[in-house]
Amino acid sequence: MERDTRPAVVVGAGPAGLCAAIELKRAGAPVLLMDENAKPGGQLFKQIHKFFGSQEHRAGVRGIEIGKDLLRESLDLGIDVRLDTEVVGLDPNLKVWAVEGRRRSYTLDASRVILATGATENAVPFPGWTLPGVMTAGCAQTLINVHRVLPGKRILMVGSGNVGVIVAYQLIQAGAEVAAVIEAAPALGGYGVHTAKVRRAGVPMLVRTTIVRAEGNEGVERAVISEVDGKFKPLAGTERTLDVDTICLAVGLTPSIELASLAGCRTFFVPELGGHMPLHDEFMRSSVPAVYVVGDIAGVEEASTAMEEGRLAGIHAAFSMGYLDSGEMERRTADTRRRLRALRQGVFGAKRFTAKERILAEKEKECP
C-alpha cells in the first residue's frame, strides 16, 4: 500500500490528542499536533490527585505526572507540536484552517484529522449568577492548581460528580473552606471514596438540594439554597442561606463538537455522555472516514479512557495511511481495547459502556 505523505493533523494536545500523536509518530506517520493553548497537556496539568485505574492505566500516579511523561515522550519522538494555534475551520475534504498566535492564518491539507477537542463545562443560570465569584469548578481548579490563586475563602460547590468532589478536595488542600457540596439528585454522583474523603474533612453534602440565588453587592457574599421535590422544583419553606464568597458549578460537560460539525460528521444525542456527539466506530472513526474523534468530544469520560481512545485512533489512522500493516494494527489495538473495556465496568463504567455501545450501533446503522 502506498503511504500517504500528507500529515495527520491532531487537534487538541490533551491526553487523548497527545496519545494519538504519539501512536502516529511511533508508526512513522507524519503528524502535526495543534493546540490553542500556550502549553500542551489539556486538563492533565490541573489533576494533582492520584488517578484510578490499574497499573497499566497509570493508576496511583498523579495526573500532572502523566502529563509530563506524555509530553516528554512526544518531544523525544520529535512530534511537531504547534501551540497557540487555534484550528478555526475544517472542511469535509480535510482542509484545515489554523490561526497561529492570533496573527497568522494558514490552511493545509491533511490526510487524516483526529479531533481531540475535549468538552466545555456546563453552567446553570440562577439569579445572581453573573456576580464575580460564580465560576465553573474547572475554572477554580485552573486558578488553584495552575495559577496558584485561591478564588475565595468559603466556597459552595454545586454538583457532586467526580469533578465537583475532586475540586472541592483540592480547594480544601489549597487552603479554602468548602461550606457544602450540594446535589439536586437524590444520590451523590461521585465515587464514594472521593465523597468520603471530602466528607471526613467536615464538608456537609446535601442531596435533593439546589441553588436558588447568589446574593452580594460587588461579588458573591451569600448563596441561598433550597431542597427540591422529585421534579427538581424548589420546595417552599426550605430555603437556607450560606455565607460564601465563591460558588463553583460542577454540573457536567458538553462535548466540543464544532469542528466535527464543520467537517460534516453525523452527531447523535447521548445524554449520559454529555449531549450531542459525533458518531464513531470501534476505531473512533466518525461518519467522515478520515476524521476521528477521541476523548471527551466522543462522549465525556475520564483522562484514562481518553488516552486509550487517542491511542486507538492514532494506531488506526497510521494503518489507514499505509504506515502499519493490518496485523500490526490489530495487534496494537487489541491491547488498547482490552484496557478500555476494563475501564468501563462496575456500576459507574457500565453506564458509559452501554452508552458507547449505542453510539457504535447507531454508527453501524447510519453509515455502515
Partner 1 sequence: MPMSPDAPDASDRTLKTLGAPSLAELRAAGVVPSREELAAHPCVCVECIEEIPCNPCETSCPQGALTVGQPITNLPVLDRQKCTACGLCIPACPGLAVVIKSLEGDRAKIRFPWEYLPVPAKGDRVEMVDRLGNPVCGGTVVSVINPARNNRTAVVTAEFPAEYVDDVISMRRL
Which positions lie near partner 1, rule CB under 8 A? 49-55, 57, 59-62, 160, 172-173, 175, 181, 186-188, 191-203, 205, 207, 304, 342-349
Rg of the chain over Cα atoms, rounded to whole angstroms, equals 21
We find the least distance from the C-beta atom of residue 77 to partner 1, in angstroms, to be 26
| Minimum distance, C-beta of residue 78 to partner 1, in the bound complex (Å) | 30
Minimum gap (Å) between residue 84 Cβ and partner 1: 32
Q: Which is nearer to partner 1, 150 or 172 (CB)?
A: 172
Of 57 and 363, the one with the shorter C-beta distance to partner 1 is 57
Nearer to partner 1 (CB atom), residue 157 or residue 284:
157
Question: For the packed helices 326-343 and 303-320, what is the interaxial angle rounded to 10 degrees?
Answer: 170
- Distance in Å, CB of 306 to partner 1, minimum: 14
Residue in 259, 208, 265, 247 with CA at minimum distance from that of residue 87:
259
Strands 119-121 and 253-255, how do they pair? antiparallel
291 vs 300, beta carbon nearer partner 1:
300
Q: Which is nearer to partner 1, 97 or 191 (CB)?
A: 191
What is the nearest approach in angstroms of partner 1 to the Cβ of residue 1? 37
Evaluate whether 176 touches 168 at the Cβ level (below 8 Å): no
Residue 263: which region, alpha, beta or left (left: phi > 0; alpha: psi -120 to 50)?
A: alpha
Q: Which is nearer to partner 1, 344 or 356 (CB)?
A: 344
Strand duo 177-182 + 80-82: pairing: unpaired
Q: Phi and psi (nearest 5°) for 229?
A: -85, -175
Least distance to partner 1 from the beta carbon of 211, Å? 18
Name every residue whose Cβ is closer than 8 Å to that of residue 87 and which is 6 or more positions away in sequence. Answer: 9, 11, 34, 36, 96, 97, 98, 259
Q: Cell numbers of 123, please?
A: 453552567
